[in-house]
Chains A and B, each alone.
Chain A
Amino acid sequence: AQKITQTQPGMFVQEKEAVTLDCTYDTSDPSYGLFWYKQPSSGEMIFLIYQGSYDQQNATEGRYSLNFQKARKSANLVISASQLGDSAMYFCAMTTPDGYGGSQGNLIFGKGTKLSVKP
């Protein structure tokens, strides 16, 4: 069965420093997609970054980068130059196989990491 594990329930980081949020995944499917979402205290889910299992390079989106280590089945999110507005819950998620060699559109989520940025 597929599973996403986020082992850090909460993390603190100083403003302007970089922080890494851990995510490991388990799947037997060779094709999959990995996502990171941010959920501020207001509740909405905001897409941050995507990495495909066959992508050769690590994904980057502005201050967000994904450290993808396929052999270790890890997809850690790196936030550079943290800002106060980065304080939020962060969820790692992956696609599910559709049984036909592709992936369903729905996502399996980890339990999340609460990031607090200190001024």
Chain B
Amino acid sequence: DSGVTQTPKHLITATGQRVTLRCSPRSGDLSVYWYQQSLDQGLQFLIQYYNGEERAKGNILERFSAQQFPDLHSELNLSSLELGDSALYFCASSVVGRGMNTEAFFGQGTRLTVV
């Protein structure tokens, strides 16, 4: 158990809908990362938050947004969903936001299926 909790584990929704994925980082970790894993794109970094503030952005679509709350949990919001958004979404956390050995601990992921 990595200590990172993601809910829900599975989500099936229709095109055009909006969903929210939730992540609770490991106790003490200030940095939260969101990744998307799909068959065609592989594992892609979406966005990073550090202590409530956005720290870095990757290949995140404008239809997607995220935030980190004062209690450090994070939510990833996906809207106007398309079939191609079907993927495994990971949240990861680490103690620091920068540095070489920023070993990230991953949650079990949320498998999103858009039908």
Stretch at the interface among A18-26, A63-71, A74-82, A101-109: A101-109
Q: How many A-B residue pairs have CB under 8 A?
A: 80
Interface residues on B, range: 20 to 34
Query: Would you call A116 an interface residue if the criterion is a C-beta within 8 Å of the partner chain's C-beta atoms?
Result: no
| CB of B44, distance to nearest CB on chain A (Å) | 8
Chain B residues near A31: list those with CB within 8 A. Answer: 100
List residues 62-115 of chain B with CB under 8 A from any CB of chain A: 88, 90, 92, 94, 96-109, 111
Assembly CA distance A107 to B36 (angstroms): 12
Question: How many residues on chain A are close to B (CB under 8 Å)?
Answer: 30
A44/B2 in contact, CB under 8 A: yes
Known A105-B55, A105-B96: A95·B102 in contact at CB below 8 Å: yes
Query: Would you call B16 an interface residue if the criterion is a C-beta within 8 Å of the partner chain's C-beta atoms?
Result: no
Binding site for B on A (CB under 8 A): 31-33, 35, 37, 42-47, 50, 52-53, 91, 93, 95-96, 98, 102-112
